[in-house]
Amino acid sequence: MRIKVILFIIVSFITVSVSSGQKNNKKVFVTGIVTDARQRPLIGALILIDGKNTNAVTDNCGIYKLKVRSDADSITIVTFTRGISTVPIEGRTKIDFVLGGPDLSKQNSENKPANDKQVDVGYGNVNQKSLLTPVSTIDGRSSKYATYKNIYEILKGTPGVIVKGNSVQIQGQSSINSGTEPLYVIDGMVVETVDGISPSMIESISVLKGASASIYGSRGANGVILVTLINGSEKK
């Protein structure tokens, strides 16, 4: 009888442990809308869970929806123009964000030391010297591009970038599963092509690779080309 009681206690303990483990592995949907202080949707914002990139982004209405583990601690919104915001999940399934900080895309770095130059990496600006992988930055307002016909002619002269017609490849970056084309991001929005971008529209271009492109997860496996348009940050 005593042995049966002991076995019953052991089985009960194992059952509770398994149930607890299954509960922690359960995934739930978390959704919400991301806006600025004027209630304008922030499009293309990156979603991180517990500091890890999920490859999920907000849609054209600023809405996100993704599955997360029930034991996840925090959710982070990373934006191109309004910085970063992190909040605890605390079991909630609907979490809205209002990012009312200064517009990072308007920050001017002309007076900063050369090794402290600010580089846009898709969700704000960081010091170029702090990046683990070199970043090529092009000033689109330079007069030398005045006669260029398209963005590919500008990229062709960028160190580490191979351009053949309208095909672009960043040296040292390649993914068997996603071809060789880099990820294109224009004013914070991921786009399929930059064919329609005229040199006269460009304020700057940044080329990311390696660790600098890793913030985009698998989408940045072939590197990332960030394009900032003139007055793009002032669009309403």
Q: Tell me whether residue 44 is in a domain.
A: yes
The pLDDT value given to residue 108: 41
92, 180: one domain: no
Task: Please identify, among 67, 99, 131, the residue that sits at the C-terminal boundary of a domain.
Answer: 99
Asked whether the beta carbons of 194 and 184 are under 8 A apart, the reply is yes
Q: Over range 215-226, report the average pLDDT.
A: 81
Residue 232 half-sphere exposure toward CB, CA atoms < 13 A: 21
Q: Tell me whether residue 13 is in a domain.
A: no
Show the CA angle centred on residue 133, arms to residues 128 and 135, nearest 5°: 55
140, 56: one domain: no
Render pLDDT for 34-50 as a digit per residue (tens, 0 to 9): 998 888 888 888 888 88
Question: Which sign does the torsion angle of CA 21, 27, 33, 35 carry?
Answer: positive
Q: What is the average pLDDT score of the chain?
A: 75
The pLDDT value given to residue 68: 92
Q: Tell me whether residue 18 is in a domain.
A: no
CATH number of residue 50's parent domain: 2.60.130.10
76, 116: one domain: no
Q: Over range 82-88, report the average pLDDT.
A: 81
Where does the chain show beta strands of DSSP type E?
27-36, 46-49, 52-57, 63-69, 74-78, 84-88, 97-99, 118-120, 125-127, 136-139, 161-164, 167-170, 183-186, 189-191, 202-208, 224-229
Fill in the amino acid letter for 63. Answer: I
Q: Tell me whether residue 164 is in a domain.
A: yes
Q: Tell me whether residue 5 is in a domain.
A: no
How far is the first Cα of the chain from the last one, in angstroms, to the nearest whole number? 77
How much is the CA Rg of the chain, to the nearest whole Å?
Answer: 23
CATH number of residue 187's parent domain: 2.170.130.10
Q: Tell me whether residue 71 is in a domain.
A: yes
147, 209: one domain: yes
Query: How would residue 72 be classed by pLDDT, with cut points 50, 70 and 90?
Result: very high
77, 124: one domain: no
Residue with more model confidence, 104 or 185? 185
53, 159: one domain: no
The pLDDT value given to residue 117: 53
165, 216: one domain: yes
Q: Over range 168-190, report the average pLDDT.
A: 76
226, 180: one domain: yes
Asked whether the beta carbons of 148 and 188 are under 8 A apart, the reply is no
Task: Please identify, among 52, 75, 99, the residue that sits at the C-terminal boundary of a domain.
Answer: 99
CA dist 134 to 59, 212, 234, Å?
30, 8, 29
| Low-confidence winner among 10-19, 61-70, 181-190 (lowest mean pLDDT) | 10-19
User: Hey, what's the torsion of the CAs at 209, 214, 217, 219, to 10 degrees?
Assistant: -10
Q: Over range 86-111, report the average pLDDT.
A: 72
**Domain count of the fold of the chain:** 2
Query: How would residue 144 be classed by pLDDT, with cut points 50, 70 and 90?
Result: confident
Cβ neighbourhood burial of 144 (10 Å; 0-12, 13-18, 19+): exposed
| Low-confidence winner among 15-29, 59-73, 183-197 (lowest mean pLDDT) | 15-29
DSSP 172: T
Q: Tell me whether residue 7 is in a domain.
A: no
The pLDDT value given to residue 22: 47
Given strand 63-69, what is the order of strands in its sheet?
63-69, 27-36, 97-99
89, 110: one domain: no
- Quote the domain boundaries for residue 54: 24-99
Highest mean pLDDT among 38-47, 48-57, 58-67, 77-86: 58-67
109, 95: one domain: no
81, 117: one domain: no
The residue behind tokens 């402290």 is 116
Separation of alpha carbons 188 and 185, rounded Å? 6
Task: Please identify, among 52, 81, 99, the residue that sits at the C-terminal boundary of a domain.
Answer: 99
